[in-house]
Amino acid sequence: MTTDAQISIDAIRVVKQAYESQLMAMANVVGVGIGFRTCQGVRTEDPALVVMVSHKIPPELLAPEERIPAEIDGVPVDVQEVGQIYSQ
């Protein structure tokens, strides 16, 4: 039996695969993954495409082409500030 969450996760996988390189090419983006939306720092149970940025910038300070969309192909996008990611 497939749940709505699984259907959403499958849709997110397709969108992630299709758009990950485009999102990673954007300034400030340090990662793209599948996870849960956060609201005021609290994790929800809503699956989303998670775009990780080193720091959030107010949308009004960005040109339209620099903004990460709230939704891609019907899949919700959650921008989460994670700082810099370093590999060892």
87 in a domain, yes or no? no
22 in a domain, yes or no? yes
Q: Given this model, what pLDDT does residue 6 score?
A: 58
The total number of structural domains in the chain stands at 1
* Residue 22 to residues 2, 44, 54, 66, Cα–Cα distance (Å): 30, 26, 17, 11
86 in a domain, yes or no? no
66 in a domain, yes or no? yes
70 in a domain, yes or no? yes
What is the extent of the structural domain holding 12? 4-81
Instruction: Write the single-letter amino acid at 49.
Output: L
Residues 9, 72, 69, 27, CA torsion sign: positive
DSSP E strand boundaries for the chain: 29-39, 42-53, 71-72, 75-81
Does 3 have pLDDT greater than 70? no
Q: Given this model, what pLDDT does residue 1 score?
A: 40
Share of residues in the chain with pLDDT > 70 (%): 92
Task: Give the CATH number for residue 59.
Answer: 3.30.300
